[in-house]
A and B are shown apart, each in its own frame.
Chain A
């Protein structure tokens, strides 16, 4: 597979994964770009031991995990819990909330749910994260419950 095709196919997916992780569009763009730089550099060495998707998602998620190092201890200013006033009919705020809630999960949960929402197969998620498939299934279930609860708390 040539780099251009991979880039075309995976850019949005990788961006969303990073966005779910940091909930900051600028930072997510940076992380996504770094991921593709690594992909570009390592593509010739790619051995097809795993699917290309698994390979790219591993690089992207590891890069997200690594960025803790660069993180200047920024404290996420807590958003007001009551967002009732901003509630609109359009989907916009719901999307924003989804990404915000995901970014507030524990780090590995952010990766797991992002991959699930990207419709990556659970067996593949297991191969990316390094947990058993049954473990992943349980985790996804719990994370979805958590997210639903958070949405309810905000009046959805």
Chain B
């Protein structure tokens, strides 16, 4: 049995056809597009929603302060969320490729932890602001209704909020956490490979 295997010689024999430069640069477009698409879609959606809410203010001219505060709070919720989301995205996007593996892993690890914070704390903040805003906004219109209808309106809204808060929110967070914790553990494990 031969014990001295020429690894270098074996290694070099693996080759792959080199795509033409045109083909490679064709991928460049797709690559950029894939990265940016989700960011652009999220931004556009939230900006459209904010504009729509702003139009409501302009069109219906709410009289009560609660309505105005409600609108501001809802818009604030979206703006804060969007700012944090964009910030996180840019951090990933700007992550320097020309670091040593060890520095790069460290950065990935930190970024993933930031993302984890954002997914829980920011999502909670977003929901709270959104719900508070909606409840305030509704007050002006329900106060003009008969008491029974006003109660029903609030009850339905609060039920919808409760479903979101107690069912959808934990479910979303749990799903995101499972994925991100897996990644964080993995990055930590690889980081440790470089420590011993």
Contacts and interface: CB of A to CB of B under 8 A. Distances in A.
A40 B25 contact: yes
Interface residues of B, number: 38
Contacts of B82: none
A99 B190 contact: no
A144 B16 CA distance: 24
B7 interface: yes
A151 B100 CA distance: 31
Interface residues of A, number: 60
B14 A128 contact: no
B9 to A, nearest CB: 8
Interface of A: 3-4, 7-8, 11-12, 15-16, 19-20, 25, 28-29, 32-34, 36-38, 40-42, 50, 55, 58-59, 61-63, 65-66, 68-69, 73, 91, 94-95, 98-99, 106-109, 111, 114, 117-119, 127-131, 144, 147-148, 151-152, 155-156
A33 B16 CA distance: 12
Q: Which of B16, B19, B105 has the most CB of A within 10 A?
A: B16
A68 B183 contact: yes
Contact of A107 (B15, B24, B31, B190): B190
Nearest to A20: B11
A8 B183 CA distance: 35
A95 B97 contact: no
Contacts of A148: 3, 5
Most A-side CB within 10 Å, residue of B100, B101, B102, B186: B101
A91 B10 contact: yes
B30 to A, nearest CB: 10
A108 B194 contact: yes
